[in-house]
Amino acid sequence: MTHNNLISVIVPTYNRSAFLHRALRSIEKQSYAPCEVIVIDDGSSDNTQSLVKTEFPKITYLYQQNLGVSKARNIGILNAKGQWLAFLDSDDEWLPEKLSKQLALIAKDSSIRICHTEEIWVRHGKRVNPMKKHAKSGGWIFHSCLPLCVISPSSVIIHRSIFEKIGVFDETLPACEDYDLWLRITSSYPVSFINEPLIIKYGGHADQLSQKHWGMDRFRIKALKKILDQGGLKTADEVAARSMLVKKAHIYLTGARKRNRLDEIDYYQSLCLNYKD
Protein backbone atom coordinates (compact mmCIF):
# COMPACT_ATOMS: atom_id res chain seq x y z
CA MET A 1 0.00 0.00 0.00
CA THR A 2 1.15 3.54 -0.72
CA HIS A 3 1.36 6.34 1.81
CA ASN A 4 -2.01 7.60 0.53
CA ASN A 5 -3.64 4.36 1.64
CA LEU A 6 -2.31 4.38 5.20
CA ILE A 7 -5.09 3.91 7.76
CA SER A 8 -5.19 5.34 11.27
CA VAL A 9 -7.62 3.66 13.66
CA ILE A 10 -9.30 5.83 16.30
CA VAL A 11 -10.80 4.17 19.38
CA PRO A 12 -12.61 6.39 21.90
CA THR A 13 -13.35 4.77 25.24
CA TYR A 14 -14.70 5.50 28.71
CA ASN A 15 -14.63 2.96 31.55
CA ARG A 16 -14.88 0.00 29.17
CA SER A 17 -11.64 -1.88 29.77
CA ALA A 18 -13.36 -5.28 29.56
CA PHE A 19 -14.85 -4.47 26.15
CA LEU A 20 -11.79 -2.52 25.01
CA HIS A 21 -9.56 -5.59 25.20
CA ARG A 22 -11.79 -7.41 22.69
CA ALA A 23 -11.91 -4.40 20.36
CA LEU A 24 -8.14 -3.93 20.31
CA ARG A 25 -7.52 -7.64 19.74
CA SER A 26 -9.79 -7.46 16.71
CA ILE A 27 -7.59 -4.70 15.29
CA GLU A 28 -4.50 -6.82 15.87
CA LYS A 29 -6.13 -9.66 13.92
CA GLN A 30 -6.71 -7.57 10.79
CA SER A 31 -5.25 -9.08 7.61
CA TYR A 32 -4.24 -5.52 6.68
CA ALA A 33 -2.43 -3.80 9.51
CA PRO A 34 -3.20 -0.09 10.00
CA CYS A 35 -0.29 2.31 10.29
CA GLU A 36 -1.34 3.27 13.82
CA VAL A 37 -3.99 2.76 16.47
CA ILE A 38 -4.94 5.64 18.76
CA VAL A 39 -6.94 5.04 21.94
CA ILE A 40 -8.46 8.21 23.38
CA ASP A 41 -9.39 7.65 27.01
CA ASP A 42 -12.23 10.01 27.89
CA GLY A 43 -11.42 10.24 31.59
CA SER A 44 -11.79 6.57 32.60
CA SER A 45 -11.49 5.63 36.27
CA ASP A 46 -11.01 1.89 35.59
CA ASN A 47 -7.83 0.13 34.44
CA THR A 48 -8.01 1.34 30.83
CA GLN A 49 -4.62 3.04 30.91
CA SER A 50 -2.76 0.09 32.40
CA LEU A 51 -4.51 -2.32 30.00
CA VAL A 52 -3.40 -0.38 26.93
CA LYS A 53 0.14 0.31 28.11
CA THR A 54 0.74 -3.23 29.38
CA GLU A 55 -0.98 -5.41 26.78
CA PHE A 56 -0.90 -3.11 23.75
CA PRO A 57 2.37 -1.16 24.08
CA LYS A 58 2.50 -0.22 20.38
CA ILE A 59 -0.81 1.61 20.57
CA THR A 60 -0.83 5.37 21.08
CA TYR A 61 -2.68 6.19 24.30
CA LEU A 62 -4.12 9.68 24.78
CA TYR A 63 -5.98 10.83 27.90
CA GLN A 64 -8.48 13.65 28.27
CA GLN A 65 -10.85 14.74 30.99
CA ASN A 66 -14.37 13.42 30.53
CA LEU A 67 -15.42 15.64 27.60
CA GLY A 68 -17.48 13.19 25.56
CA VAL A 69 -17.10 10.88 22.59
CA SER A 70 -17.11 13.65 19.98
CA LYS A 71 -14.18 15.44 21.61
CA ALA A 72 -12.36 12.10 21.94
CA ARG A 73 -12.83 11.25 18.26
CA ASN A 74 -11.80 14.75 17.23
CA ILE A 75 -8.60 14.48 19.28
CA GLY A 76 -7.93 11.25 17.43
CA ILE A 77 -8.52 12.90 14.05
CA LEU A 78 -6.19 15.76 14.98
CA ASN A 79 -3.38 13.38 15.98
CA ALA A 80 -3.81 10.76 13.25
CA LYS A 81 -1.15 10.40 10.55
CA GLY A 82 -3.08 8.34 7.99
CA GLN A 83 -4.94 9.65 4.96
CA TRP A 84 -7.74 7.24 5.80
CA LEU A 85 -9.37 7.22 9.24
CA ALA A 86 -11.22 4.25 10.68
CA PHE A 87 -13.24 4.36 13.89
CA LEU A 88 -13.94 1.51 16.28
CA ASP A 89 -16.21 1.98 19.28
CA SER A 90 -14.64 0.26 22.27
CA ASP A 91 -17.61 -2.09 22.74
CA ASP A 92 -17.57 -3.31 19.12
CA GLU A 93 -15.38 -5.74 17.21
CA TRP A 94 -13.99 -6.00 13.67
CA LEU A 95 -13.86 -9.21 11.67
CA PRO A 96 -10.36 -9.98 10.31
CA GLU A 97 -10.94 -8.92 6.67
CA LYS A 98 -12.65 -5.62 7.48
CA LEU A 99 -9.91 -3.18 6.51
CA SER A 100 -8.48 -5.24 3.64
CA LYS A 101 -11.86 -5.58 1.91
CA GLN A 102 -12.54 -1.87 2.22
CA LEU A 103 -9.12 -1.03 0.80
CA ALA A 104 -9.63 -3.49 -2.05
CA LEU A 105 -12.83 -1.67 -3.00
CA ILE A 106 -11.12 1.71 -2.77
CA ALA A 107 -8.28 0.47 -4.98
CA LYS A 108 -10.82 -0.15 -7.75
CA ASP A 109 -12.31 3.35 -7.54
CA SER A 110 -10.12 6.29 -6.63
CA SER A 111 -13.18 8.56 -6.25
CA ILE A 112 -14.34 6.79 -3.06
CA ARG A 113 -14.04 8.92 0.05
CA ILE A 114 -16.17 7.00 2.55
CA CYS A 115 -17.00 3.32 2.80
CA HIS A 116 -19.09 1.38 5.30
CA THR A 117 -20.09 -2.26 5.67
CA GLU A 118 -22.88 -4.53 6.75
CA GLU A 119 -22.78 -5.62 10.40
CA ILE A 120 -23.77 -8.32 12.85
CA TRP A 121 -25.84 -7.25 15.84
CA VAL A 122 -25.48 -8.89 19.26
CA ARG A 123 -27.78 -7.81 22.09
CA HIS A 124 -27.39 -9.20 25.61
CA GLY A 125 -25.15 -11.94 24.24
CA LYS A 126 -27.52 -13.11 21.50
CA ARG A 127 -27.44 -12.39 17.78
CA VAL A 128 -30.47 -10.41 16.62
CA ASN A 129 -31.73 -9.24 13.24
CA PRO A 130 -31.82 -5.47 12.68
CA MET A 131 -35.19 -4.00 11.75
CA LYS A 132 -35.90 -2.82 8.21
CA LYS A 133 -35.41 0.81 9.24
CA HIS A 134 -31.75 0.02 10.01
CA ALA A 135 -31.06 -1.37 6.51
CA LYS A 136 -27.66 -0.40 5.09
CA SER A 137 -27.06 0.86 1.55
CA GLY A 138 -24.69 2.85 -0.62
CA GLY A 139 -24.77 5.72 -3.09
CA TRP A 140 -26.38 9.08 -2.44
CA ILE A 141 -28.10 8.09 0.80
CA PHE A 142 -28.89 11.46 2.42
CA HIS A 143 -32.64 10.71 2.46
CA SER A 144 -32.03 7.30 4.06
CA CYS A 145 -30.01 9.00 6.82
CA LEU A 146 -32.78 11.40 7.83
CA PRO A 147 -34.92 9.15 10.08
CA LEU A 148 -32.03 7.72 12.14
CA CYS A 149 -28.42 6.51 11.85
CA VAL A 150 -27.94 3.94 9.12
CA ILE A 151 -24.13 4.10 9.20
CA SER A 152 -22.23 2.73 12.19
CA PRO A 153 -19.06 4.59 13.18
CA SER A 154 -17.30 1.25 13.72
CA SER A 155 -17.93 0.25 10.10
CA VAL A 156 -16.57 3.28 8.24
CA ILE A 157 -13.30 4.38 6.81
CA ILE A 158 -13.25 8.03 5.81
CA HIS A 159 -10.70 9.96 3.77
CA ARG A 160 -9.17 12.84 5.69
CA SER A 161 -10.25 15.33 3.01
CA ILE A 162 -13.90 14.90 4.07
CA PHE A 163 -13.20 16.30 7.52
CA GLU A 164 -11.22 19.15 5.98
CA LYS A 165 -14.27 20.08 3.91
CA ILE A 166 -17.27 19.45 6.16
CA GLY A 167 -15.74 19.60 9.63
CA VAL A 168 -15.42 17.06 12.44
CA PHE A 169 -17.80 15.69 15.06
CA ASP A 170 -20.05 18.27 16.74
CA GLU A 171 -18.85 18.50 20.35
CA THR A 172 -22.03 20.29 21.47
CA LEU A 173 -24.10 17.15 20.91
CA PRO A 174 -24.04 14.72 23.84
CA ALA A 175 -25.60 12.04 21.60
CA CYS A 176 -26.51 11.54 17.90
CA GLU A 177 -23.18 13.13 16.99
CA ASP A 178 -22.74 10.46 14.31
CA TYR A 179 -26.22 11.21 12.89
CA ASP A 180 -25.16 14.84 12.54
CA LEU A 181 -21.91 13.88 10.79
CA TRP A 182 -23.61 11.49 8.35
CA LEU A 183 -26.08 14.21 7.34
CA ARG A 184 -23.23 16.57 6.51
CA ILE A 185 -21.24 13.92 4.65
CA THR A 186 -24.08 12.32 2.67
CA SER A 187 -25.36 15.69 1.49
CA SER A 188 -22.02 16.17 -0.30
CA TYR A 189 -20.61 12.70 -1.01
CA PRO A 190 -21.82 9.32 -2.24
CA VAL A 191 -21.16 6.47 0.18
CA SER A 192 -19.64 3.14 -0.83
CA PHE A 193 -21.07 0.05 0.81
CA ILE A 194 -19.84 -3.52 1.23
CA ASN A 195 -22.86 -5.77 1.65
CA GLU A 196 -21.04 -8.22 3.89
CA PRO A 197 -20.95 -8.21 7.71
CA LEU A 198 -17.44 -7.10 8.66
CA ILE A 199 -18.11 -5.83 12.19
CA ILE A 200 -19.90 -7.14 15.26
CA LYS A 201 -21.90 -4.42 16.97
CA TYR A 202 -22.69 -5.19 20.59
CA GLY A 203 -25.53 -3.55 22.45
CA GLY A 204 -27.80 -3.68 25.43
CA HIS A 205 -25.36 -2.46 28.10
CA ALA A 206 -26.37 0.38 30.38
CA ASP A 207 -23.61 2.86 29.46
CA GLN A 208 -24.65 3.26 25.84
CA LEU A 209 -25.61 6.82 24.96
CA SER A 210 -29.01 5.67 23.71
CA GLN A 211 -29.68 4.35 27.23
CA LYS A 212 -28.18 7.36 28.98
CA HIS A 213 -30.13 10.17 27.28
CA TRP A 214 -33.91 10.46 27.13
CA GLY A 215 -35.63 11.96 24.07
CA MET A 216 -32.88 11.16 21.57
CA ASP A 217 -34.80 12.83 18.74
CA ARG A 218 -34.13 16.25 20.27
CA PHE A 219 -30.49 15.85 19.24
CA ARG A 220 -31.50 14.76 15.73
CA ILE A 221 -33.80 17.78 15.51
CA LYS A 222 -30.87 20.01 16.46
CA ALA A 223 -28.72 18.41 13.75
CA LEU A 224 -31.46 18.84 11.14
CA LYS A 225 -31.97 22.47 12.09
CA LYS A 226 -28.23 23.09 11.87
CA ILE A 227 -27.79 21.65 8.39
CA LEU A 228 -30.88 23.51 7.12
CA ASP A 229 -29.76 26.82 8.63
CA GLN A 230 -26.31 26.44 7.09
CA GLY A 231 -27.86 26.33 3.61
CA GLY A 232 -26.40 24.77 0.50
CA LEU A 233 -28.51 21.62 0.35
CA LYS A 234 -29.85 20.41 -2.97
CA THR A 235 -33.52 21.35 -3.35
CA ALA A 236 -34.82 17.80 -2.93
CA ASP A 237 -32.57 17.25 0.09
CA GLU A 238 -33.75 20.48 1.71
CA VAL A 239 -37.40 19.56 1.23
CA ALA A 240 -36.83 16.12 2.71
CA ALA A 241 -34.85 17.50 5.66
CA ARG A 242 -37.53 20.11 6.43
CA SER A 243 -40.22 17.44 6.33
CA MET A 244 -38.25 15.20 8.69
CA LEU A 245 -37.52 18.03 11.13
CA VAL A 246 -41.21 18.95 11.32
CA LYS A 247 -42.20 15.29 11.73
CA LYS A 248 -39.74 14.75 14.56
CA ALA A 249 -40.64 18.09 16.19
CA HIS A 250 -44.35 17.17 16.14
CA ILE A 251 -43.62 13.84 17.81
CA TYR A 252 -41.39 15.45 20.42
CA LEU A 253 -43.97 18.22 20.98
CA THR A 254 -46.65 15.62 21.72
CA GLY A 255 -44.41 14.10 24.37
CA ALA A 256 -43.58 17.50 25.85
CA ARG A 257 -47.29 18.29 26.21
CA LYS A 258 -48.01 14.97 27.91
CA ARG A 259 -45.16 15.59 30.35
CA ASN A 260 -46.16 19.24 30.85
CA ARG A 261 -42.72 20.47 29.75
CA LEU A 262 -43.88 24.06 29.37
CA ASP A 263 -40.38 25.38 28.69
CA GLU A 264 -40.13 23.20 25.57
CA ILE A 265 -43.60 23.48 24.07
CA ASP A 266 -43.21 26.96 22.59
CA TYR A 267 -39.83 26.11 21.06
CA TYR A 268 -40.97 22.96 19.28
CA GLN A 269 -44.21 24.64 18.16
CA SER A 270 -42.12 27.36 16.53
CA LEU A 271 -39.97 24.75 14.79
CA CYS A 272 -43.05 23.09 13.36
CA LEU A 273 -44.26 26.42 11.98
CA ASN A 274 -40.94 27.82 10.76
CA TYR A 275 -39.72 24.73 8.92
CA LYS A 276 -43.02 23.62 7.39
CA ASP A 277 -42.77 23.40 3.60
- Helix (H, G, I), strand (E, B), or coil: what is residue 163? helix
Higher pLDDT, 180 or 130: 180
| Distant-in-sequence, close-in-space partners of 19: CB < 8 Å, separation ≥ 6 | 90, 91, 202
Contact assessment for residue 61 and residue 49, using Cβ atoms and an 8 Å cutoff: yes
pLDDT for the residue 262: 83
83-95, pLDDT tens digit by residue?
A: 999 999 999 999 9
Among positive and negative, which fits the CA dihedral 139, 140, 144, 147?
positive
Q: Where are the chain's structural domains?
A: 3-208, 217-274
Handedness of CA 112, 100, 69, 212 (dihedral sign): positive
The pLDDT value given to residue 206: 63
Contact 112, 46 (CB under 8 A): no
Question: Could you tell me the pLDDT band of residue 203, with boundaries at 50, 70 and 90?
Answer: confident
Q: 61: which strand partners?
A: 39
End-to-end CA, the chain: 49
Question: pLDDT-based confidence at 276, cuts 50/70/90?
Answer: confident
Calculate Rg over the CA atoms of the chain.
Answer: 19
Residue 1 has pLDDT above 50, yes or no: no
pLDDT score of 136: 96
What is the helix (H) or strand (E) element at residue 192, kind and residue range? strand 192-203
pLDDT of residue 205: 62
pLDDT digits (tens, 9 = 90+) for 146-162: 999 999 999 999 999 99
Average pLDDT, the chain: 94
Is pLDDT larger for residue 186 or for residue 206?
A: 186
* Range in 39-48, 58-67, 122-131, 184-193 with the lowest mean pLDDT: 122-131
| Class in CATH terms, 3-208 | alpha beta
With a cut of 90, say whether residue 215 has pLDDT above it.
no
The per-residue pLDDT for range 229-272, each reduced to its tens digit, is 999 999 999 999 999 999 999 999 998 888 888 889 999 999 99
Question: Three-class SS string for 70-121?
Answer: HHHHHHHHHHCCCCEEEECCCCCEECCCHHHHHHHHHHHCCCCCEEEEEEEE
Helix count and strand count (H, E) for the chain: 11, 9
Percent of the chain with pLDDT over 90: 87
277 and 243 Cβ atoms separated by less than 8 Å: yes
pTM of the model: 0.94
Averaged pLDDT for residues 102-112: 96
- pLDDT(25) > 60: yes
